[in-house]
Amino acid sequence: MAQLPDNESVAPGTAVGSALTLAVERFVAGGLGLGHDPDGRVVLVEGGIPGDEVVVEVVSSKKRLLQAHVVDVLTPGLGRIAPPCPEVERGCGGCDLQHVSSEVQINLKTQIVVDSLRRIARLSDVQVRAGQSLSPFAYRTSVRCAVDRDSGRLGFRRARSHQIHVVDQCMIAHPLVEGIINDSLFPGANEVTIRVGAVTGERLVVVSGETEDYEVPDGVTVCMTRSHHARGGRKHGGRRRGAPDGHFHDVVADHRFRISATSFFQARPDGAEALVDSVRRALGEFDPTTDTLADLYGGVGLFAAGLGARSGYLVESSGSAVADAKVNLEATEVKINRSKVETWQPASVDAVVADPARRGLDKDGARVVLATGAQNVALVSCDPASMARDVAFLVEGGYELRWVEVIDMFPQTHHVETVASLVKVG
């Protein structure tokens, strides 16, 4: 018999476009609520939080899994609020947790971290605690915007759509970023990343795609991606470049960092400082004046410099970040290696801070951390699932997990940052 497509293989009432009433039971990775349909299938609900009784519209229907979004709230879960940003009401999809109070957001995120450690690392009794709390609005100093190609105005994708929603305001953007969103035009461009130094006031944009008659406020450095053949650029004193080779500075933990247009830097300096403080706690008795540190996935040197390391290693694969790190760490004896962590020849050190991208350390990165023999390890992570998997590798390799701090770097969105403190046993 011919195989029915997924949508036809499910009971009537759960096809795409149909409405269901359900209770949201849990909050899961990706900022989704989890409930069940009347036949017991899991339903992942965009816009749902635990305790909600909601009417949802099914947007994808598979044999065992439905995806849906909230169309009506019958009974609100604890912490449900009206989104404070008017752009959400107008369809902006830039933030996915505006419907949850800030206090409940951190609780929900902490729960996801606890669940990940239990399910993936098989660790149930871990001390998982909220780290330093950070302001929930006007915080982002780095924002990637979509561009309405005709008008050249900046915005974000609409919720559940590829369409562009031009914004008049952005409540999570730092005021210096918001100023650029409001007062710039990039007709024809594909994407614009805005980066500012909150302390220094320096402002820069990285533009991808063809744009000729852009407008930016005075003093904003404009960097074009390499494929762009810049021809235009005028008004308000914006500068034009043939490649994204500009840089700006910001100050974190009393240290002034040079950050190139394409180098990674944490998206808020107060959050970067909170991470440095958390890593300091995580490294226990590590003394930066006498002990050696390996800053793996070290970027422009945030942790090595922020902790005040005098000697050790920074390992980073991006050329621009390595060039920045050389400037940012020039007063130290930290050796800077441009290399993938996985192919770096591990050196013996007293402490490791590892801050990989979303995919985490995985086996090869964890092998390098273990080979350093470090007494203390701080694992910084932006993905609870890869964090839990990596913790399991390190625990298997002879470390004990002391605690995990959850730092809400990105309020109003489901994203979460964690710092795990591990110590060598035996």
Ligand X SMILES: C[S@@+](CC[C@H](N)C(=O)[O-])C[C@H]1O[C@@H](n2cnc3c(N)ncnc32)[C@H](O)[C@@H]1O
Is the Cβ of residue 104 or residue 334 nearer to ligand X in the bound state?
A: 334
Stretch that binds ligand X, among 42-50, 72-80, 214-222, 353-361 (CB under 6 A): 353-361
User: Which helix (H) or strand (E) is 278 found in, with range?
Assistant: helix 269-282
Question: Three-state DSSP class for 405?
Answer: strand
User: Crossing angle for the helix pair 384-396 and 102-119, nearest 10 degrees?
Assistant: 40
Is the Cβ of residue 46 or residue 295 nearer to ligand X in the bound state?
A: 295
Nearest residue relative to ligand X (C-beta):
299
Is the Cβ of residue 85 or residue 419 nearer to ligand X in the bound state?
A: 419
> ∠ at Cα 292 (289, 294), nearest 5°?
130
Instruction: For the CB of residue 346, give the shortest distance to ligand X in the complex, in Å.
Output: 13
Cα(206)–Cα(194) distance, integer angstroms? 7
Instruction: For the CB of residue 257, give the shortest distance to ligand X in the complex, in Å.
Output: 9
Stretch that binds ligand X, among 73-81, 99-107, 151-159, 352-360 (CB under 6 A): 352-360
Query: Nearest to residue 193, comparing CAs of 208, 183, 209?
Result: 208
Cα(322)–Cα(324) distance, integer angstroms? 5
Size of the site for ligand X (CB under 6 A): 19
Is the Cβ of residue 154 or residue 354 nearer to ligand X in the bound state?
A: 354
User: Which helix (H) or strand (E) is 73 found in, with range?
Assistant: strand 65-75
Instruction: For the CB of residue 298, give the shortest distance to ligand X in the complex, in Å.
Output: 5
Stretch that binds ligand X, among 47-55, 106-114, 137-145, 350-358 (CB under 6 A): 350-358
Binding pattern for the stretch 288-327 against ligand X, x by CB under 6 A and - elsewhere: ---------xxx--xx-----------xxxx--x------
Which residues, other chains included, contact 151 with Cβ-Cβ below 8 Å and sequence gap of 6+? 166, 185, 187
Q: What is the largest CA-CA distance in the chain?
A: 73
Cα(258)–Cα(272) distance, integer angstroms? 14
Cα(81)–Cα(133) distance, integer angstroms? 20
- β-pairing verdict for 142-147 and 154-157: antiparallel
| Residue selected from 235, 310, 340, 424 as contacting ligand X according to rule CB under 6 A | 340
- β-pairing verdict for 65-75 and 53-61: antiparallel
Instruction: For the CB of residue 302, give the shortest distance to ligand X in the complex, in Å.
Output: 4
Residue 357 engages ligand X in binding (rule: CB under 6 A): yes
Stretch that binds ligand X, among 153-161, 198-206, 207-215, 338-346 (CB under 6 A): 338-346
Is the Cβ of residue 184 or residue 337 nearer to ligand X in the bound state?
A: 337
- State which of positions 235-264 bind ligand X (CB under 6 A): 264
Cα four-point dihedral sign 416, 421, 424, 426: negative
Question: Three-state DSSP class for 291?
Answer: coil
Is the Cβ of residue 186 or residue 257 nearer to ligand X in the bound state?
A: 257
| Residue selected from 210, 350, 355, 417 as contacting ligand X according to rule CB under 6 A | 355
Site residues for ligand X per CB under 6 A? 264-266, 297-299, 302-303, 315-318, 321, 340-342, 355-357
